[in-house]
Amino acid sequence: MESWRTQTNLLNAMFGALLFVSPWLLGFSGGAAGWNAWIGGAVLVVISMTAVTHFAEWKEWIDLAVGAWILASPWTLNFPADSSQVKIHVLAGGIVTILAAVELWKEHHGPPRVSA
């Protein structure tokens, strides 16, 4: 279980870092999309990296909430349709949300018991 947690938190941190640098790489550093990417990405990196060293369930709930926000933000903040801003937010937010949800599910639903 520890290996799974470490891997998912490192992936969440990686997608947070990708989201953080995306405004510069994809050219949308001005406006709401850029600020959303910087703040959301930074929060994901910090929370995910602290979860690698010191696991706490509340950190996974924060990852889930931030991932869901990042996923929904293109429509909430009215990003231009079919833009790189939308694509990177949906990609990062979707993956982080799924990973956090699976990690929380695994935390509460241990492996099946085999009876002889």
pLDDT given for residue 115 in this prediction: 65
pLDDT given for residue 113 in this prediction: 64
For the record, the structure tokens of 25 come out as 């790489």
Q: Could you give the CA distance from residue 73 to residue 37 in angstroms, rounded to a whole number?
A: 10
Q: Could you give the CA distance from residue 47 to residue 49 in angstroms, rounded to a whole number?
A: 6
Local confidence pLDDT in tens for the 116 residues of the chain: 567 678 888 999 999 999 999 999 999 988 999 999 999 999 999 998 998 888 777 888 999 999 999 999 999 999 999 899 999 999 999 999 999 999 888 877 766 666 65
pLDDT given for residue 112 in this prediction: 62
What stretches of the chain show up as alpha helix (H) in DSSP? 2-26, 32-53, 57-76, 84-108
Spatial contact of 93 and 70, defined as CB atoms under 8 Å apart: yes
| N-to-C CA span, the chain | 24
